[in-house]
């Protein structure tokens, strides 16, 4: 890499530190990725940053892919180079950003493996508890698995949201969309137990359903840590966290019922393809279920013949 090229890289890194005030960790990642980009340019006999065009950038993305980098890592590299060229455009070093219209391969969405039924039982069937905090933890886990809640939905619930007579709970999910979910028998029993001791952890005026030991609405980080500890306590393979329980809810329900549309509604997914991502079932099977269940799906295909 020519001194002038390195100079602009150094200026950009200083820009990240002093003007954008990014964290040292982020600056280090940008710097490392850009040094790798510079080395690639040197291998391709690039003597000036103005020589980098969209074709060169596509070749660089392909080179990263050939090295075995995953979609997420390539996205990070491209983000660093895009920011660098935006800086060069701002400084009038180059006329256009060659990365502006490019996107990296989509990162593979890694989902947690669902717990099997025996693991769920081992995690939740613990009656040897007496401390309010443990009673609360079991109520949270049972409710999340029973109703397939997102973590944000769980911690936002208030005490009057649970309808014990109907066995339901209304939740507001992504896009501020509200749906009413069923609450299973075991979850209702755990919640009743929690309500019997809840006042020992918070003042009567507190409306949050689940509270911390300080009497405030429990935080997402607190829930995540409590679930992790329960997984260790019950010797469950793999990390136990809220999304794994939601994923287990979706997988078990779909495997048992085959009703993709119902699971989509329960999960609060706007797009049916998202429900397919949350499960480990073959998409052709899901498409067949969709064709049988949706009144206008099969007709359109038949008419197209």
Average per-residue pLDDT in the chain? 85
The SS3 assignment for 65 reads helix
Please tell me whether residues 183 and 71 are part of one structural domain: no
Please tell me whether residues 152 and 250 are part of one structural domain: yes
Could you tell me where the DSSP H helices lie in the chain? 3-18, 24-43, 54-66, 71-90, 117-124, 132-147, 151-155, 185-197, 220-233, 242-257, 260-267, 272-277, 283-293, 297-304
Interval 112-135 mean pLDDT: 86
pLDDT at 110 over 70: no
Q: Of the given ranges (170-174, 250-254, 256-260), which has the lowest mean pLDDT? A: 256-260
What is the number of domains present in the chain? 2
Q: What are phi and psi of 68, to 5 degrees?
A: 95, 10
Task: Assign 109 a pLDDT band (cuts: 50, 70, 90).
Answer: low
pLDDT at 243 over 50: yes
pLDDT the model gives residue 120: 92
Please tell me whether residues 127 and 253 are part of one structural domain: yes
In a domain, 106, yes or no: no
pLDDT at 287 over 90: no
Which of the 8 DSSP states describes residue 45?
Answer: T
Enclosing domain of residue 68 = 3-90
- In this predicted model, which residue has the larger pLDDT, 174 or 236? 236
pLDDT at 223 over 50: yes
Q: What sign results for the dihedral spanned by CA atoms 122, 124, 128, 131? A: positive
Q: What percent of the chain has pLDDT over 90?
A: 42
State pTM to two decimals.
Answer: 0.59
Task: Please give the structure tokens belonging to residue 61.
Answer: 């993305």
pLDDT the model gives residue 104: 63
Question: Is the CB of residue 210 less than 8 Å from the CB of residue 154?
Answer: yes
Angle value at C-alpha 114, between 109 and 118, nearest 5 degrees: 170
Q: Of the given ranges (74-83, 122-131, 163-172), which has the lowest mean pLDDT? A: 122-131
Residues with active-site annotation: 150, 174, 243, 246, 269, 278
In a domain, 205, yes or no: yes
In a domain, 144, yes or no: yes
Please tell me whether residues 132 and 230 are part of one structural domain: yes
Question: Is the CB of residue 61 less than 8 Å from the CB of residue 103?
Answer: no
- In this predicted model, which residue has the larger pLDDT, 177 or 225? 225
Neighbours of 158 (CB within 10 A): 12
In a domain, 295, yes or no: no
In a domain, 263, yes or no: no
pLDDT the model gives residue 111: 62
Query: What residues pair up with 233 in beta bridges, in sequence order?
Result: none
- In this predicted model, which residue has the larger pLDDT, 293 or 65? 65
Task: Assign 300 a pLDDT band (cuts: 50, 70, 90).
Answer: very low
Task: Assign 251 a pLDDT band (cuts: 50, 70, 90).
Answer: confident
Please tell me whether residues 78 and 124 are part of one structural domain: no
Interval 186-196 mean pLDDT: 95
pLDDT at 102 over 90: no
Task: Please give the structure tokens belonging to residue 257.
Answer: 């019922």
Task: Assign 264 a pLDDT band (cuts: 50, 70, 90).
Answer: confident
Question: Is the CB of residue 115 less than 8 Å from the CB of residue 245?
Answer: yes
């Amino acid at each position: 890499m020519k001194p002038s090229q390195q100079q602009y890289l150094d200026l950009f890194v200083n820009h990240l530190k002093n003007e954008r005030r990014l964290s040292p960790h982020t600056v280090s990642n940008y710097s490392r990725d850009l040094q790798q980009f510079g080395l690639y340019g040197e291998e391709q006999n690039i003597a000036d940053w103005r020589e980098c065009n969209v074709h060169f950038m596509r070749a660089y993305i392909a080179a990263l892919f050939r090295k075995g980098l995953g979609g997420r890592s390539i996205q990070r590299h491209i983000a660093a180079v895009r920011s660098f060229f935006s800086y060069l455009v701002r400084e009038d070093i180059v006329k256009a950003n060659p990365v502006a219209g490019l996107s990296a391969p989509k990162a593979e969405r890694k989902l947690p493996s669902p717990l099997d039924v025996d693991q769920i039982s081992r995690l939740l069937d613990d009656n040897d508890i007496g401390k309010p905090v443990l009673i609360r933890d079991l109520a949270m886990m049972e409710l999340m698995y029973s109703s397939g809640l997102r973590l944000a939905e769980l911690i936002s619930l208030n005490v009057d949201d649970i309808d014990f007579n109907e066995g339901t709970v209304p939740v507001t999910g992504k896009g501020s969309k509200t749906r009413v979910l069923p609450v299973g028998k075991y979850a209702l029993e755990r919640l009743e137990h929690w309500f019997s001791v809840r006042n020992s952890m918070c003042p009567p005026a507190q409306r949050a359903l689940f509270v911390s030991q300080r009497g405030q609405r429990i935080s997402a980080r607190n829930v995540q840590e409590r679930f992790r500890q329960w997984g260790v306590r019950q010797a469950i393979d793999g990390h136990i966290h809220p999304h794994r329980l939601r994923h287990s809810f979706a997988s078990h329900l779909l495997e048992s019922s085959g009703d993709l549309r119902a699971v989509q509604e329960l999960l609060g997914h706007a797009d049916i393809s998202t429900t397919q991502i949350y499960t480990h079932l073959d998409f052709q099977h899901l498409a067949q279920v969709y064709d049988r269940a949706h009144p206008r799906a099969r007709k359109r295909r038949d008419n197209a013949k």
